[in-house]
Amino acid sequence: MSTQSLSPDIVIDAPPARRFGRAQLAGMVLLGAIGLFALFGPWLVGIDPARQQLERFLEHPSLAHPLGFDQLGRDMLARLAHGARLSLALAAVSVLSAAIPGTLLGLLAAWRGGWLERVLAAFADAVLALPGLLLVLLLTAFTPGGFWPLYVGISLALWVEYFRVVRAASRILLASPHVEAARLLGFGPTHIVRRHLLPELLPRLFTLMRFGFAGAVLAMSALGFVGVGLQPPTPELGVMMIELLPYYGEAPWLIGAPVLTLFLTLLGLLLLAPEREVA
């Protein structure tokens, strides 16, 4: 037996709940700080991340250069700022370009049904059968080191989740009495999507997008780390990690910086979860 369920026969206006939990606020502050760093960092530091001063290689942190210099004498803070900007922007763009078509195709499949739904579902299953990272590897194999194959690959691997979640949830919603009532009252698809489907779908999409964003940042770093993602000297978090790994003994703060940036970004995204998760 589940818990007691007595009918709510008196409707009480609940006291206005706190909009965000403590953890959510912490996540927002963290992501906000990282976002500001990525957005304005490169400009504030004002040093070209590719400029080499070989005589200063592995120089320790100082007031003027808070993270010191890397193995080629490039300012580490400048590289970190540019790396954060690149990784986060790329992740945001790939998440959006997966979420938007995924959602639209999911709505279309649920609405139309029939052969169109079957074709789309089969295509989605086919993409899902390939591990996402493998798909990206496949694409990058043709043009190694490029930005576009990375972006297209990650989006292509990620849209399936949005499609599947939106299709499944929409099918249930479209069969519900409130949508039936709306149709009888003469409302068209735009209204039904806007008032009946999206308000239900958005919280789930938000959850998916958080995980998708974290996944994209990680995937890009992983690809950079194994050397098929963006190539040096591009300041990208994963590329920086692989470049700096050999100097772990002499200058642990160098590899620590991109690792910590990535860790804090993912932590922020996870903290952003509503207290009652919906997905």
Partner 1 sequence: MNGHATTAALAVEKLAVLHGEQALVRDISFAIPAGGVLTLLGESGSGKSLLAQAIMGNLPAPLRCEGRVVIGGDTTPAGDGRSRHAGWGRRLALLPQEPWIALDPTMTVRDQVAETYALVDGNPWRGARALAARALASLGLQDAARKYPFMLSGGMAQRVAFLATHAAGAPLMIIDEPTKGLDAQRRGDVLELLRAAQAEGMSLLCITHDIWLARQLGGQLAVMFEGAMIEQGDAAQVLAAPQQDYTRRLLAADPGSWPAWRDANPAPASGTIVQVDGVSKSFGRQLLFSGVDARIAAGEIVAVGGPSGSGKTTFGNIVLGLTRPDGGRVQRASELAPTAFQKIQQDPGAAFAPRIRLRQSLRDLVQLHGLDWTQLEALLTRMRLAPALLDRLPHQVSGGELQRIALARVLLMQPALIFADEPTSRLDPVTQQDVFALLLEHVRDKRCALLLVTHDSEIVDSVACRRIALGQHAMAPR
Positions touching partner 1 (CB under 8 A) are 1-2, 4-15, 176-178, 180-187, 191, 195-196, 199-200
Q: Give whichever of 176 and 231 is closer to partner 1, judged by the CB atom.
A: 176
Q: Give whichever of 12 and 64 is closer to partner 1, judged by the CB atom.
A: 12
Q: Give whichever of 14 and 129 is closer to partner 1, judged by the CB atom.
A: 14
126 sits in which H/E element? helix 114-129
Q: Give whichever of 62 and 176 is closer to partner 1, judged by the CB atom.
A: 176
Q: Give whichever of 25 and 182 is closer to partner 1, judged by the CB atom.
A: 182
Closest approach of Cβ 203 to partner 1, in Å?
10
Cβ count within 10 A of residue 215: 22
Closest approach of Cβ 176 to partner 1, in Å?
6
CA distance 159 to 164: 9
Q: Give whichever of 17 and 64 is closer to partner 1, judged by the CB atom.
A: 17
Nearest to 121 by CA among 87, 180, 58, 164: 164
Closest approach of Cβ 199 to partner 1, in Å?
4
Q: Give whichever of 118 and 191 is closer to partner 1, judged by the CB atom.
A: 191
Query: Which residues, listed in sequence order, are joined to residue 184 by a DSSP beta bridge?
Result: none
Q: Give whichever of 107 and 156 is closer to partner 1, judged by the CB atom.
A: 107
Closest approach of Cβ 92 to partner 1, in Å?
27
Closest approach of Cβ 5 to partner 1, in Å?
5
Closest approach of Cβ 179 to partner 1, in Å?
8
Q: CB of 272 within 8 A of CB of 27?
A: yes
Closest approach of Cβ 181 to partner 1, in Å?
5
Helix, strand, or coil (residue 143): coil
Tokens of 132: 């996402």
Closest approach of Cβ 228 to partner 1, in Å?
44
